[in-house]
Amino acid sequence: MRALSLLGVFVVAKIVMLAGHSIPLTGWTPIAYLWQDLLVALLFAAVDFVVRRRWLGWTLYGATVAYVAINVPLVRVLSSPLTWPMMRATRGALSDSIKHHATLENLALLSLVLLAGITLPLLVRRTGHPPSIALAIPALGLILLGPLATSRIETIGLHRNAVVALAATAWPRIPSQSASDDWRASAFDDSSGDDLTRFRGAASGRNVVLILLESTGAQYLRPYGADSDPMPNLSQLASQAILFENAYAVYPESIKALFSVLCARYPAIDTQAEGYAQVATPSIATALAEAGYRTALFHSGRFMYLGMDSVVTGRGYQTLEDAGAIGGHRESSFGVDEPSTVRRILSWVDSVPRGERFFLTYLPIAGHHPYDTPEVGPLPERDDFDRYRNALHYADASLGELIRGLRARGLEQNTLFIIFGDHGEAFGQHEGNYGHSLFIYEENIRVPYLVIAPGLFQEQVRVARATSLIDTAPTILALLGLPIPESYQGGSILEGQHRMALFYTDYSLSFLGLRDGCWKYIYELESGRSKLFDLCQDAGERNDLAERHPERVTAYRAHVRRWSAAQKALITQAQKPIASTAGRTLSRK
């Protein structure tokens, strides 16, 4: 009785979660969307039969119903039940986002599933039910067909049972395998263009300011073709900059993206940021500290979130300050207001002895969900997208204050600025794609990327070839005329040769991908499904051309699988770094 009731709860929850989504209708559809629910119900029945403890059976039943109910609003918002990576992320820093979605509708739907969990056992007891064996045999048949069904239709993970999703993501999804290759080299295109080597060493002796704009997608900005201009200060800077039209984050989440930027190394699937403290590759801060730069990193958020401590500590920053040390006029669950951080940055700049060079890294949080700002933005807020663009405008205002502060101190003309988005942000451009972490479509990973050197670039230089955030550290060193560590996996984007950009996500479903010229490839590990887009003709990634180009798909699939396995081996086998004298003092709370 309990197992049958639990299956009924799963069905009710699945109907609620699928409402509003576009569901492919084929003969495989009911099997694809129900087989995991049948699996969990059958396993529950087996445990219930073996244990034969009524109180234990009801306790397990109640806990499972409650867990499924909690996942209902989550799936409706993010199109994914809780996974282990998502469970780690759901901490205090996201409490404002959680409150934002605690709407009457979501609470009512959660309550509906709980109500089903209470009433279904009463209905099953009253109406009776067939013998367990009569249900188990056809259920087992459907379960065996389930993986085949999900490979035939795209479910974007909505077929998953909440219990199965949590259990499956607790296990490694790809084995580590050592391999050495030029992962950025294309098997189909060895062309070159946009040679910028004339700027090699052109910024020698300048200060360096590195700014990672939170959740800032390229497609939402005026220099990248957007109708509105939420970041006018950035647009002004872009008018005399090297602007990379197709720059990609390695991972659509801030912490691992930051690791790739600082150390010019790929993060790895199935790994946590805490393990990256063992990676011995010197960061850009270490390289510049050893070249005589004063180094500092200021973050409007908190280093404790998702292991950022492990990524920034011991990386050559002589000063590290987050929200706790900065303080501010306005606090949120994620951090402090941007003007307070900018004031603290300028105070630190004033402390640098005159004539000494500095390397400053600024990590704002404005732009992160729930897109709250202490000031009213220029757009009427009809939906989350308007709120997001107002948040970008708020971030841009602080960017402008920082630039003006450096200008007032006579430092702007002797500073190299590298400004880019740490990842993008999605607003339903593709089915179920909201936020940034769960997919690797253009809205998730294509970011603005500007290299600005006042007085050096007199006009905008637009570069169309694909680039990656992993190239940031070697590019800075190349512009300064300093040596590039051999252990860097990224390379200077001043070089003109064609290079692929590689990226992945493993927050929920696991996706591996690459950009190769006009071609964008996405591979889903769980289903083995491939997608191929010609972005030169289809910038919105609407027309999947995988079936038309099987040779290209086969090559790309093998490449991203080997690449991801090799990066996992490199991270998991990393040795503890030797402590650098550059990372001496921390200023945090």
Over residues 127-156, mean pLDDT: 82
* Residue range of the domain that includes 36: 2-168
**Amino acid found at 267:** P
| Residue recorded with tokens 């087989």 | 35
Over residues 52-68, mean pLDDT: 89
Q: Are residues 159 and 205 in the same domain?
A: no
| Nearest CA-CA partner of 279 in 259, 261, 296 | 259
- Cα dihedral across residues 65, 112, 9, 160: positive or negative: negative
Q: Hey, what are 54's tokens?
A: 């009524």
Residue 206 domain-assigned? yes
Instruction: Establish how many alpha carbons lie within 13 A of residue 40's alpha carbon, considering only the half-sphere containing its beta carbon.
Output: 25
Mean pLDDT over all residues of the chain? Answer: 91
66-120, pLDDT tens digit by residue? 999 999 998 988 899 999 888 877 665 566 677 777 888 889 999 999 999 999 9
* DSSP-based three-state secondary structure for 559: helix
Q: How confident is the model at residue 180 (pLDDT cuts 50, 70, 90)?
A: confident
Instruction: Establish how many alpha carbons lie within 13 A of residue 480's alpha carbon, considering only the half-sphere containing its beta carbon.
Output: 28
153-167, pLDDT tens digit by residue? 999 999 999 999 999
Q: How confident is the model at residue 576 (pLDDT cuts 50, 70, 90)?
A: very low
Residue 470 domain-assigned? no
Q: Are residues 249 and 136 in the same domain?
A: no
Q: Are residues 343 and 446 in the same domain?
A: yes
Q: Are residues 143 and 248 in the same domain?
A: no
508-549, pLDDT tens digit by residue? 999 999 999 999 999 999 999 999 999 999 999 999 999 999
Residue 473 domain-assigned? no
Give the β-pairing of 294-299 and 426-427. unpaired
Phi, psi of 573, rounded to the nearest 5 degrees:
-100, 5
Residue 587 domain-assigned? no
Does residue 579 surpass a pLDDT of 80?
A: no
Does residue 580 surpass a pLDDT of 50?
A: no
Residue 190 domain-assigned? no
SS (H, E, C) 265-332: CCCCCCCCHHHHHHCCCCCHHHHHHHCCCEEEEEECCCCCHHHHHHHHCCCCCCEEECHHHHCCCCEC
Does residue 581 surpass a pLDDT of 70?
A: no
Q: Which residues fall within 8 angstroms of residue 32, CB to CB, at 6 or more apart? A: 146, 149, 150, 152, 153, 155, 159
d(CA 285, CA 200): 19
Residue 191 domain-assigned? no
Q: Are residues 301 and 359 in the same domain?
A: yes
Q: Are residues 445 and 496 in the same domain?
A: yes
Q: Are residues 151 and 205 in the same domain?
A: no
288-322, pLDDT tens digit by residue? 999 999 999 999 999 988 889 999 999 999 999 99
Q: Are residues 345 and 216 in the same domain?
A: yes
What is residue 587's predicted lDDT score, i.e. its pLDDT? 44
Residue 73 domain-assigned? yes
Phi, psi of 323, rounded to the nearest 5 degrees:
-55, -35
Q: How many domains does the chain have?
A: 2
Over residues 322-327, mean pLDDT: 92
| Alpha-helix residue ranges (DSSP H) falling in 352-453 | 384-408, 442-445
Over residues 478-503, mean pLDDT: 95
Over residues 24-50, mean pLDDT: 91
What is residue 46's predicted lDDT score, i.e. its pLDDT? 87
- The top-scoring range by mean pLDDT among 72-86, 328-342, 545-559 is 545-559
Residue 387: other Cβ atoms inside 10 A? 18
Over residues 360-369, mean pLDDT: 94
Q: Which of 131, 148, 168 is the last residue of a domain?
A: 168
Q: Are residues 60 and 207 in the same domain?
A: no
Q: Are residues 203 and 336 in the same domain?
A: yes
Q: Which range (6-10, 133-137, 243-247) has the least confidence?
A: 133-137
443-468, pLDDT tens digit by residue? 999 999 999 999 998 899 999 999 99
d(CA 393, CA 231): 5
514 contacts 445 by C-beta, under 8 angstroms: no
**CB-based burial, 147-179: b 16+ in 10 Å, e otherwise:** bebbebbbbbbbbbbbbbbbebbeeeebebeee
505 contacts 511 by C-beta, under 8 angstroms: yes
The DSSP secondary-structure symbol of 49 reads H
DSSP states of 500-519: -EEEEE-SSS-EEEEEETTE
The DSSP secondary-structure symbol of 579 reads P
* DSSP-based three-state secondary structure for 586: coil
| Beta strands in 84-227, from DSSP E residues, in sequence order | 207-213
Over residues 553-560, mean pLDDT: 98
Residue 192 domain-assigned? no
Does residue 588 surpass a pLDDT of 50?
A: no
What is residue 584's predicted lDDT score, i.e. its pLDDT? 34
Q: Are residues 348 and 211 in the same domain?
A: yes
d(CA 223, CA 499): 23
Q: Are residues 404 and 498 in the same domain?
A: yes
| Nearest CA-CA partner of 135 in 45, 29, 64, 36 | 45
Phi, psi of 489, rounded to the nearest 5 degrees:
-90, -20
207 contacts 352 by C-beta, under 8 angstroms: no
Over residues 553-569, mean pLDDT: 97
